[in-house]
Amino acid sequence: MLEAFLSKNLVTQGFGKTDRKDAWWWEQVFTVVALTVFGLYGVYRAFENGFYEVGPYLSPFYSPNLKALFPQAFDWFQLSPAFLILWAPLGFRGTCYFYRRTYYRAIFNDPPACAVDKPKQGLLRPLADYTGETLFPFILQNFHRYFLYVALVLVAFHWVHAFQSIFWDGQIGFGVGSLIVWLDTILLTLYVFSCHSLRHLIGGKLNTFTGGIFSRIAYFKWFNQTKLNQEHWLYAWVSLFTVGLCDLYIRLVANGTITDWNTWGLDWSGVGCLH
Amino acid sequence: MMMSLGVVDREFHVFRGLPDADGEHIGEVKSFTVPVQPGWVVLDALLYLQAHNAPDLAIRWNCKAAKCGSCAAEINGLPSLMCKTRLDHMPLDKPVLVRPMRTFPLIKDLVTDVSWNYEINKRITPFTPYNDDQSTWRYFQEDADRVQEFRKCIECFLCQNSCHVIRHHRKFNHFAGPRFLVRLASLEMHPLDVADRIPFIKEEAGIGLCNITKCCTERCPEDIRITDNAIIPLKERVVDRYYDPITMLLHKIGIK
C-alpha cells in the first residue's frame, strides 16, 4: 500500500461529518444523558450519607450495610460508607466490555458512531494520538475480571438484602419496596452473570470441550452463559436504571415523601434516619 | 419500509474519481436517474448505469449473492454490500448515495485497493495440527460449532472499513483489524491446533488498539458476532498471559 496513504494518523472532516442519513446521534445523546443523570445522582447520594435504610429495605448504594456490620469502625471513619462500596460497582461497570463500547462512543467520540467522523480534539488528548487500550489509563481495562470477583460478592449481599426485605419483626410479608429490591437484585445478578470475562473464565478459555468430565461441565456452563451474554447490553442498561430506581424509592420512603404499601400494614414513611 | 409495485425512476449519487499520487480519493459525486424495477438491489441499479449511462464506471462484483464479498461499498454512508442492499428498504424520495470504501486507497470510482489485507493474512501462523496424520484427527460437534461461525466470513472487508482504528487512524502497520482477529480466533480456538499466537495477537495484531466499539459487528453482512465471540475472547486470553498475575503464575507452573 502507498506509504503516503499510511502516513496519516487521523483522517477526519470534522466532528459528526458523515454521509449517513439515519439518526446515528440518538444513541450518543441517550448515553450522555443517562450516564450524566445517574452519575450526578450517585455522587449526591454517596455524599448524602442518609435515608438509605428504612423498614426492611436497604439501598443498593449502601449494600452491604457496613455501619451495621462494623459500627466501631465508623467512630473514626466519618465519611459516607458508600465511598467504601461504590468503587466496586463503578469499577465493574467502568471496565465492562459493553459500557466501554458505550462511553468510548458517546463520551470519547472514539468514534461517535460507525462511519461518523471524529473531532480532532478528544476529551483527554488529541485524537490523532489514538492508542486504544494499550496505555494508561485504558490499559487498566484488562483488570475487569478482578472487579467481577468483587461484584460477585456484592451480588451475594444483594440477595441477602432481598430476602431481608420480605421479613419484618419475624413476620414474612412484602411491600412495594420488596418488589423493587427483588427486581433490582435479579437484574443485577443477570448483569453480573452475563459478563464477558466470566464467560471466558468458566469455559471460554478452553480450546476443546470434549477432554473429559471437567471439559463437559465447562461446556455446559459456557454454553448456557453464552445465552445470557448475548443480552449483556440489555442487562447493563436495565440494571443501571433499577439500581437508581431502588435507591430513589428507599430514599423517598425514608425521608417521608412517599408511603410504602406493604402487607405488614406498617407505615415507616419518614422513619429512615439521616445517619 | 417503502414498497413500490412497478418501475420507478430513482436518483443515484455515485462517486466517480481516480486516486491522487497518495491513493486518496479524488473525484466528485455524479447524479444519475435509473428506472428501478421491483426487488432491485443497489448493484442492479449500478449495473444498469454501467450498461446505459456510464460504461466506464468501475465496480468490483462477482456473485451478486452476498457470498463473494467483492461489492463492498458505502451506501448512504453505511459500509454495506451493494448486492445485499435492497432499494425498496430506502426512502423513495431521497437519492441513494454510493461511495467506495473510504478506508482503502482508491483504484477507480467504486473500486478500492484492499491488498493490504492479504499481506496481513500472510503473517498469521496457519493451522498447525498436533500431528499430520489426518486419520487420527477427532473432535466433537461442540468444538466445531464454536469456530464454524468464523468460517462464514466472506472477506468483504466491510469490518476493516468500518473499524475506526484503520478508517480514521490508519493503523495499518500496527493493527490487523477485525477480519484477521476473527481468523486468529478461529485458529486459537481450534481443538486440534497447537500453535501459540497470543504474543502475535498482542504485539503485531495490536489487539489492544481495539476499543470494542463494535462497528465491525454492526456492519458484518454475515452476522458474525465479531466482537463478542472473537475479539473479546482473544482479549481475555491476552489478559491471561500478560496482565492477570494469577493466571500468569498458573501458566508459569504449567496449569492452563
- Give the integer Cα–Cα distance in Å for A17 and A4: 23
Question: All 3 cell numbers of residue A129?
Answer: 494520538
| Contact: B213, A197; criterion CB under 8 Å | no
B187 lies in the same domain as B241: yes
Among the partner-chain residues B169, B208, B233, the one whose CB lies closest to the CB of A9 is: B169
- Give the integer Cα–Cα distance in Å for B163 and B221: 15
Nearest CA in chain A to B142: A209
* pLDDT confidence of residue A125: 75
Query: Which range is least confidently modeled, A160-164, A248-252, B2-6?
Result: B2-6
User: Which CATH number goes with the domain that contains B68?
Assistant: 3.10.20.30
Q: Before A64, cis peptide (omega within 30)?
A: yes
B67 lies in the same domain as B160: no
Three-state helix/strand/coil letters over chain B: CCCCCCCEEEEEEEEEEEECCCCCEEEEEEEEEEEECCCCEHHHHHHHHHHHCCCCCCCCCCCCCCCCCCCEEEECCEEEECCCCEHHHCCCCCCEEEECCCCCCEEECCEECCHHHHHHHHCCCCCCECCCCHHHCCCCHHHHHHHHHHHHCCCCCHHHHHCHHHHCCCCCCCCCCHHHHHHHHHHHCCCCECCCCHHHHHHCCCHHHCCCCCHHHHHCCCCCCHHHHHHHHHHHHHHHHHCCHHHHHHHHCCCC
B140 lies in the same domain as B209: yes
* pLDDT confidence of residue A9: 80
Looking at B92, B112, B132, the residue that finishes a domain is B112
Residue A273 has pLDDT above 70, yes or no: no
CB atoms within 10 A of CB B133: 8
| Banded model confidence at residue B233, pLDDT cuts 50, 70, 90 | very high
* pLDDT confidence of residue A128: 74
User: Which CATH number goes with the domain that contains B220?
Assistant: 1.10.1060.10
Touching B: A residues 223-242, CB under 8 Å: 223, 229-230
B195 lies in the same domain as B101: no
Q: Averaged over A13-41, what is the pLDDT?
A: 96
Under a CB-based contact definition with an 8 Å cutoff, are residues A236 and A96 in contact?
yes
Nearest CA in chain A to B91: A21
* pLDDT confidence of residue A133: 97
Number of H helices and E strands in chain A, helices first, is 12, 4
Looking at B62, B80, B112, the residue that finishes a domain is B112
| Contact: A110, B173; criterion CB under 8 Å | no
Residue B199 counted as domain residue:
yes
| Contact: B213, A110; criterion CB under 8 Å | yes
pLDDT tens digits for B102-161?
999 999 999 999 999 999 999 999 999 999 898 888 888 989 999 999 999 999 999 999
Q: Work out the angle at residue B169's Cα, subtended by the Cα atoms of residues B165 and B175, and round it to the nearest 5 degrees.
A: 45
* pLDDT confidence of residue A253: 95
Looking at B112, B137, B163, the residue that finishes a domain is B112
B140 lies in the same domain as B178: yes
* pLDDT confidence of residue B213: 97
* Structural domain that includes position B231: 115-252
Q: Residue A58 is inside which H or E element, if any?
A: strand A57-58
B202 lies in the same domain as B105: no
Residue B70 has pLDDT above 50, yes or no: yes
Q: Averaged over A114-132, what is the pLDDT?
A: 86
The residues near B144 (Cβ < 8 Å, ≥ 6 apart) are: none
- Give the integer Cα–Cα distance in Å for B205 and B199: 9
**Which ipTM was obtained for this model?**
0.94
* pLDDT confidence of residue A275: 46
Rounded to 10 deg, the angle between the A176-193 and A144-164 helix axes is 160
Mutate to test the interface with B, among A98, A114, A131 (most CBs of B within 10 A): A114
B233 lies in the same domain as B167: yes
The dihedrals phi and psi of B183, each to the nearest 5 degrees, come to -65, -40
- Give the integer Cα–Cα distance in Å for A218 and A205: 10
Which chain A residues are within 8 Å of B162, Cβ to Cβ? 114-115
B32 lies in the same domain as B157: no
* pLDDT confidence of residue B2: 52
- Quote the number of domains for chain B: 2
Can you tell me which residue has the cell 466490555?
A97
Question: All 3 cell numbers of residue B52?
Answer: 446505459
| Contact: B190, A207; criterion CB under 8 Å | yes
